Amino acid sequence: MMIKVPPATVRPFALSGWSLQRKLVLAFWLVSVIPTMIAAELAATTLSQIFDSNVRIWLQESTKIVEDEITEILRDNARVARLFLRYTSPPTDQLSVSNDKLTTDIADAMGIDVVALVRNSDHKVVFSTVADDIVRQISTEPKAVLQTLQVGGVATGTVVSTFETEQGGVDYKLVIGTYLDSSFLTSVADVHSLDLRLYLAKADDFSEIFSSQRFEDHPPAVPENIEQILRSTKQPIEQSTSRYSGIYRPILNENGELQGVIFSGLLRHTSLLGLVNQSNLFILIFLLSSAASLTVGWLVSQRLTKPLRGLSIGVQAVIAGDYRQRLPVTGGDELAELSSTFNHMSERLGELQHLESQLRRRDRLHALGEVAMGLAHEIRNPLGIIKTATQLLHRRADLPETDKRHLEYVVSEVSRINDLITEFLDFAKPSAPMRSTQLARPLVDELVGFCAPELASHAIDVRIDDQAPAATLYADARQLKQAGLNLIVNAIDAMPDGGRLTLGITSDQRYTMISISDTGQGIEPNMLERIFTPFVTTKASGTGLGLAKVFSIMESHDGRIECVSEKDAGATFTLYIPANGEDFDEGRNDT
């Protein structure tokens, strides 16, 4: 019977499954969310008040545009009146010119809509550029600057200026009028969100005679309550609805009487005003602050968790056996101390691993030496008897030549076996080095000189790269020569068709490095870790003790050997040899 195991419940928002960085970012945001909300509320309130104040000022200034335009029209009217009075004779009924061509042309050229001459005694219109019924609608009272006239059945606002004149002993009034028609304030008509209106007195209320826009909820007249407030306070009054914010500004004559009303309104849904309010500002500032908080939290968490991620990778590498892993140490905080402690731990573990491998190797060599001594004793005695008996048989004169050759083969092989046993004993029970301080270059020259014939016979070019002419060695010259010869012989074997052999000399504070590089076949990657193991060889006739012997010699000298190689790209063996006995002993004691 099979038992079905229910799948594990996946909880995508479970904090336990979050990374440390995500938790830190969340914590940073939660800590900052309340201060952020408070700051957003204060900032939204302040910005909203500032914006409302600027809108209010802008609306007030826009209403002044109408006042400035009316004032400019009054100045133009006055200039035109002085021009008529100075350079033309106002026409009278005695001259019988009711439609003077010159005056009409000047009025058209100056943009004046109404020029009329009215006699004071009987208010008779003796001259006019427009129909008399229009002139009769004009009040010649000095305070009646803004008036509403019916022109062609359309209520038209007019700026009226009246000037007294006398001709032939008769008093007249020169009336100059300019219509506030569609050409008035054409510059503000392009501002589609601005509703600029002008109301003038008509019958019992103030009716609209001009508007830059025609929006919905467009009142044709000034609301009665607004009119009463303007009459009493003679100050601008604000009025806002859900669709627009506006201001009513009174136009007063010289006597302080309400002559007209200017309205300036800004639609909310078609302008920035509809977006800039306290709620929207709060949401915007809160979102921006939260984004900034999350960004800062991410950067801070990145800074805090980066060493921890590096530590995690380093620990995994150490678990895998790689003790070369190091973490960068920046700053002087606890994380830097943790990274420094990990680096020290990795270094000590590497040293312990090296010491452990040395101890294991020494234990194996010790056991191997004990076995070798016993085997050598047991094997050499029979070999000696075999060799002696064979030599005695070989001296007999009555043996055929064929038998003598066979006996010579036996003696030769016995000698070879004896040499192999001797070499194995030397490896298993190496003698202690007799070390002394000496220069490195003479030793290298001696090695090259000794091997020169063999190198020449194999067409191998030799080069010495001495980058430390005064470098010294604290070593046993005989054993070091043996190690060098083993490496050179291996290099010769790796270059059967010729090549280049480079011997380099470098140094640092504790070691002198002698490198032997060839341009041969190289070493397979899977063999690099085993080449110093006894009886491991890539040669068909090798014993596998050459590199193991070199390793043993370097170990007995408190040094080491390293190999760098690639397939078909040659190999480089580097010997690290103590440069000075006293300095090396002090450094070893310190560690």
Q: Residue 446 is encoded by which pair of tokens?
A: 């001696």
Distance (Å, rounded) from C-alpha 351 to C-alpha 591?
Answer: 10
Tell me if 165 sits within 8 A of 218, measured CB to CB.
no
CATH, domain range 88-180: 3.30.450
Q: Is 383 helix (H, G, I), strand (E, B) or coil?
A: helix
For domain 433-590, give the fold.
Answer: Heat Shock Protein 90 (3.30.565)
Q: pLDDT digit of tens for each residue in the chain (591 aa)?
A: 444 445 544 455 555 556 666 666 676 666 666 776 776 677 667 766 676 677 777 777 777 877 788 888 888 888 888 877 776 555 554 443 444 677 777 788 778 888 888 888 888 888 888 888 888 888 887 767 888 888 888 878 888 888 888 877 888 888 888 888 666 665 555 666 777 788 887 767 787 777 777 666 667 788 888 888 888 888 888 887 767 778 888 888 777 888 888 888 877 655 444 455 556 666 776 777 777 777 777 777 676 667 677 777 777 877 777 777 777 777 666 667 777 787 888 878 777 777 777 677 666 666 666 666 666 666 766 777 777 777 777 777 677 778 777 777 777 777 777 777 776 666 666 667 788 888 989 999 988 888 888 888 888 899 999 898 888 999 888 888 888 888 888 888 888 888 899 999 998 888 999 999 998 888 887 777 777 766 666 665 556 677 778 888 888 888 888 888 877 778 899 999 998 876 555 555 554
Identify the H or E element spanning 274. Answer: none
According to CATH, the superfamily of the domain at 185-274 is GAF domain (3.30.450.40)
Give the sign of the dihedral formed by CA 371, CA 372, CA 377, CA 380.
Answer: positive
Q: Residue 427 is encoded by which pair of tokens?
A: 């490896």
Type of residue numbered 208: E
145: which residues sit within 8 A by CB, 6+ positions away? Answer: 70, 74, 159, 160, 161, 253, 259
Distance (Å, rounded) from C-alpha 545 to C-alpha 535?
Answer: 6
Q: In the chain, what are the domain boundaries? A: 88-180, 185-274, 326-429, 433-590
The correct CATH number of 326-429 out of 3.40.50, 1.10.10, 1.10.287, 1.20.1250 is 1.10.287
| pTM (predicted TM-score) | 0.41
Tell me if 544 sits within 8 A of 537, measured CB to CB.
yes
Domains 185-274 and 326-429 share a fold: no
The Cα angle at residue 76 between residues 70 and 77, in degrees rounded to 5: 90
